[in-house]
Structure 1
Amino acid sequence: MTIDAIISLFIFVVVYYLIISEKVHRSISVVLGAFILTFFGVFEDPDYLFKNYVDFDTIFLLVGMMLLVSAVKSTGFFEYVAFKLIHFSKNSFLSIFILLNFFVAFFSAFVDNVTTIMIFIPITLAVADAAGIDPTFFVLSEVFSSNIGGTATLIGDPPNILIGNAARLTFNDFILNTSPATLITWGIIILYFVLKNKKYLKKNISFEFSAIEITKSNLIKSTVLLISVIILFTVQEKIGVHSSVIAFGMGFLSILVIDPKNVEKHFGEIEWGTIFFFIGLFIITGALEDTGILKNLAMILSKNFGSTPKLFGMFLIIMSFLVSGFFDNIPFTATMIPVIKMLPSINSTFVNLNPYWWALSLGVCFGGNLTQIGASANIVAITMLLKYSKRSVSFKEYMKFSIIPSLISLIVSIAYVEFRYF
């Protein structure tokens, strides 16, 4: 292991400790960690660092969606939708819970997870506020639904796009292979949430809304803007426009259409701490890739568990799941793709590689639920929960909530791949 690799691993461990212990704000921890890595020359080419490791597509998508949500929120639209949802559910707390999670999972299959979370969390918070209850359980359950739902399609999660491009897999291939596992996993986990919290969900709650103050004009504007952004995200590949461009443009357009006189107020709604956290995390994870740590991890997997196709498939899911819970899943996916492609040259029994692509997809996507920073949607949801409800979720508290449903998703994915493909 090189000096640069040792420094990268050390910084990662220290930063992760600070995040878990919460002794230092997570944004400060990751940004200073990224600064140290850059200062000590772990990256030989700073230009390469920002071009290849800092995902500006995600950064600008976040900024754009924060502006759009801020503008739409100012109209009272989310409270209005929450009121309609409660009315449709006939005040059944259980029905509202299932409906919200279903729509989050469904939209995440076709729209970026972060976008889905940023649209549905304000509605969830409005429901919780009307019921006078702590929204934490609802928000964290929707994080699970978002990450699981995104696994269902080629465009639902960035790792799936990488896998699809590398293996020449189509949208329909994912529908036929990852969607069944997604539906089974989502159903079991929602059932687990319902059974574990049945007393909470079956409470007789009186929803009390103050007068819903939204004009017909603002209702139409908000509805058109949100539908437009969802449609644009769905067809972004066909029109050849990056998600960041769509979000950024729609964010500023929403301010222009809804509230052009209060631009500075909406700029103030941008969560800069979250933005800097992502930038720092991208750099730290990039260092692990740049110094070969992730590649070595992948090679260890193939060397020690590549003796039989069935054994490798099982450990590929487990390794992908665990790594994606603590690292950014995009660089790990990019690292594992050439490893899977070289399997036939290692062992002649690896003829059909398709099962390993599905194993990788399920592992990296489901693994994102394991920790607070396992996926972008997790970080955004927890940030919004703190901002709008003043409810913080510690690293340990999140793990306490996530560990059992995460293990359920891991077991289901292993069983699915093993029984269907081997």
Structure 2
Amino acid sequence: MSTEVCTVPFTRFSPRVDAVYRGVAAACTTATWSHQRRDYGELRHQVSAWKKALSSLTNYRTEEKVVRRVVENKLQILEQEIKEQNKCQNLALPKETFEKTLEELREKYTIKDKTLLIQTLAAITFIVIVFFLHSLPQMQSLSLGWSALLGTTMLLVLADKDDLQPILSKVEWSTLLFFAALFIFMEAITKLGLIQWIGGLTEELILTVDEKYQLPVAILLVLWVSGITSAFVDNIPLTSMMVRVVTSLGTNPNLALPMAPLIWALSFGACMGGNGTLVGASANVICAGLAEQHNYKFTFKEFFRIGAPMTIGHLVTVSAYLLICHCVFTWH
């Protein structure tokens, strides 16, 4: 494979173009330019990364035109390689190649700063302990948010970094802004009474059922309402509201429902429902942000196509489990 595409005349680049050019030069000197067959997913990932670099360049400056031409040539080579692999019947890598790649990954991603690792573990341990102590009445004046900030400050003090710019550049600002907007939205719909309306409607439906069927209906309603709702609404405020509904149902003298099955139904529903959509759980949003940083972007629709069937399957399984445990064997 020719390396002519790597030849770039000596030019004094601007910082932004220089960063792209350095990436091109690094790629030219690595094995990515060899004739060896690479993993299909890796090729697609590289194409996505190079397209992202290409989109950051314009045609207005000579230096950007030079780098743009190099990137376009690189893209053509990668796309041609993808076409060649599409023609192959077997895309599986040999076992020796897999083991070699695994060994290279182990060497590349070793622990480089053990002192920082110990300091980080100390900060995380501090945060977890404070979270557990938050259940004590004396500690409830210290919010969970401030507890996390104290742990972060502790790590910054222990690490004693002079330059914070590299640290701040790795903060997921887009994810933090998304969470801020999400919590504002959740507070708004809470003030409007939407969540309370859902809880009240659930309670009314259970009260209309015959007494001997109230427990299975209550279990299924709490499970599925919390599961489906938490797929589209953040599960923290939803659970806070549903706890009041479950407590009301469990202490209602007209129903005489045991509390334990309803608590388990709420716990399973809020947990499983968060897997249904990209915004259903905080972990989903964080994962999406980190994946996008590494050019593995997936949309709400793509996540929903996989997450929704899995969530429904989980809820069906949990429904059968709870009905058997609490309605057939009455283990409560």
**TM-score of the superposition, structure 2-length normalised?**
0.60
Instruction: Tell whether 2:278 aligns with 1:372.
Output: yes
In 2: Cα distance, 1:132 partner to 1:254 partner: 40
Question: In the TM superposition, what is the alpha-carbon distance from 1:243 to its structure 2 partner?
Answer: 4.2
| 1:18-417 to 2 correspondences below 5 Å | 204=95, 205=98, 206-207=101-102, 208-209=104-105, 212=108, 218-226=113-121, 228-230=123-125, 232-234=127-129, 236-238=131-133, 240=139, 242-258=143-159, 260-306=161-207, 307=209, 308-343=214-249, 348-387=254-293, 389-417=294-322
Equivalenced residues, count: 228
* Secondary structure in 2 matching 1:342: helix
Q: Which amino acid aligns with 2:235?
A: N
Question: In the TM superposition, what is the alpha-carbon distance from 1:248 to its structure 2 partner?
Answer: 2.4
Contact 2:226–2:269 (Cα < 8 Å) also in 1: yes
Aligned identity (percent) is 22
Question: In the TM superposition, what is the alpha-carbon distance from 1:410 to its structure 2 partner?
Answer: 0.9
* Secondary structure in 2 matching 1:260: coil
In 2: Cα distance, 1:414 partner to 1:202 partner: 42
C-alpha offsets along residues 317-347 of structure 1, whole Å, 9 cap, x if unaligned?
0000000000011222222223223326766
Contact 2:250–2:257 (Cα < 8 Å) also in 1: yes
In 1: Cα distance, 2:159 partner to 2:251 partner: 59
Q: Which amino acid aligns with 1:317?
A: L
Contact 1:232–1:246 (Cα < 8 Å) also in 2: yes
Structure 1: unaligned runs, 5 residues or longer: 1-130, 135-198
Question: In the TM superposition, what is the alpha-carbon distance from 1:226 to its structure 2 partner?
Answer: 2.3
Contact 2:206–2:217 (Cα < 8 Å) also in 1: yes
Q: Which amino acid aligns with 1:395?
A: F
Which of the two has higher C-alpha Rg?
2
In 1: Cα distance, 2:109 partner to 2:202 partner: 57
Contact 1:225–1:250 (Cα < 8 Å) also in 2: no
In 1: Cα distance, 2:159 partner to 2:40 partner: 29
**TM-score of the superposition, structure 1-length normalised?**
0.48
Greater relative contact order (CA < 8 Å, ≥ 6 in sequence): 1
Question: In the TM superposition, what is the alpha-carbon distance from 1:370 to its structure 2 partner?
Answer: 0.7
